[in-house]
Structures are given as structure tokens and as C-alpha cells.
Amino acid sequence: MSRDAERAVVLLSGGLDSTTTLAIARAEGYLCHGLTVDYGQRHRAELASARAVADAFGVEDYKLLRLDLDRIGGSALTDPAIAVPEAPGEGIPVTYVPARNTVLLGLALAYAEVIEARDLFIGVNALDYSGYPDCRPEFIRAFEALARLATKAGVEGARLRIHTPLIALSKSEIIQAGARLGVDYGLTVSCYQADDTGRACGRCDACRFRSEGFAAAGIPDPTRYR
């Protein structure tokens, strides 16, 4: 199989980072398969955005899985009783969803195994980010080690790889990279409490990182605020 025919699974949230990650994976020549997980997140608009992004990029295939992680709760993103903070705080914020990236990468790994993809892409970023433990490089390396032990492909010697092209980029560098690749950020929703039409609050962590990123990149911010 030639390099440009390799399949990849790209986790898509509908946000700015995962959309840029998809643009990079496609630019690197992968046949991209999008995966979105409806885990009961508060910001439902991002699910529509994820599909719009997948459609805009013409992915090979796209899957939306449903998982009622809101039955476990423990996060402002999955428990309506916990408010989304509108000012920066200390430590790991309440928007952290317990073990989310472990579950998302596990599902991406399942999908990859079925379509015989060896490459997984996730748009984690450890610079302009909220301090979530499962966005750090050491977490990603540990998942990669796990993936090779967890799967039939790994047992058979495949070198499964977790690609994190954004991990060391600032938000403005991410936006600049996406803009060069023709990403329409108007399709994306970052806000943790976007309304049903995708309009952002302008006050949560995700909105703050996003708007500062566009300003620093010198690129017009297409975000619709309510």
C-alpha cells in the first residue's frame, strides 16, 4: 500500500483544533475517516459542526457514536448542575471530563482496527489549553504503547501511531496552519456552552483561547456570539 493510500482515523469534535488536525492529516495524504462521539456534552452544537466539517473535507467515511457519559457526570460539560466557569481558575478546571480522551482514543482505536488503519489523529494541545491531564504528551505516548498491546493489529506487529500535530503549537499557530490549509473556521464551534445554533458565550475558557488565538494570528474571527 503506498503512503498516500494509508487510512487514518481522525477524532472530530466540531471545534477548531480537531478541524485543523483533519486538515493536516489530509494534507499529509491520509485517507481520513472521521469519528465523533456524542457523549452527552452540554454543547450540542459542536456535533452539527463536526458533521459539517467532515462533509466540507469530503472524508472517506464518517461515524457518529453515542455514549451516555452524562450518566457518569462529574464535569461541567456532562452535568447540567455544574456551571461552566467564565473566569480562569486554578488547577484542573471542572470542564475536565473524566477519562474522556482515554475513551475517545479507545473508540478511535476500535474504528481503526476495523478499517485496518494504523494512524490515529487527535487535536490535543498542551500549550494554550485548560490543563487537562489527558492532553499531555506523556498521556499520548502511554496510549500509543497501550494501543500496540490492545489490538489484533498490534499483536501482528503493526506500529499503531497516535498523531498529535497540534500538541506543541500555540492557538494562533494552529489557526495560521489551518488558514494556510484553507480551513473555514466559520464551520467550527469551540464554546463550552454554545447555543443550539452554535453561537458562542464569549466568556468560557474555550471562547477565550479561541478569540485570543484569532487576534494573535491576525486573522478575522468568524465566531458568532450571542
Q: Which residues bind its own copies (CB under 8 A)?
A: 63, 65-69, 71-74, 92, 96-103, 106-107, 109-111, 113-114, 133-134, 136, 138-139, 142-143, 145-147, 149-152, 154-155
Residue 9 β-bridge partners? 33, 120
Whose Cβ is closer to its own copies: residue 141's or residue 226's?
141
The answer to whether 123 and 13 are in contact (CB under 8 A) is yes
| Minimum gap (Å) between residue 94 Cβ and its own copies | 10
| Minimum gap (Å) between residue 79 Cβ and its own copies | 9
Whose Cβ is closer to its own copies: residue 143's or residue 209's?
143
The answer to whether 101 and 126 are in contact (CB under 8 A) is no
| Minimum gap (Å) between residue 133 Cβ and its own copies | 5
CB atoms within 10 A of CB 144: 17
Residue 92: HSE in the Cβ half-sphere, 13 Å Cα cutoff: 12
| Minimum gap (Å) between residue 129 Cβ and its own copies | 14
Whose Cβ is closer to its own copies: residue 109's or residue 194's?
109
Amino acid occupying residue 141: R
Whose Cβ is closer to its own copies: residue 130's or residue 193's?
130
The answer to whether 115 and 3 are in contact (CB under 8 A) is no
Whole-angstrom distance, CA of residue 188 vs CA of residue 102: 23
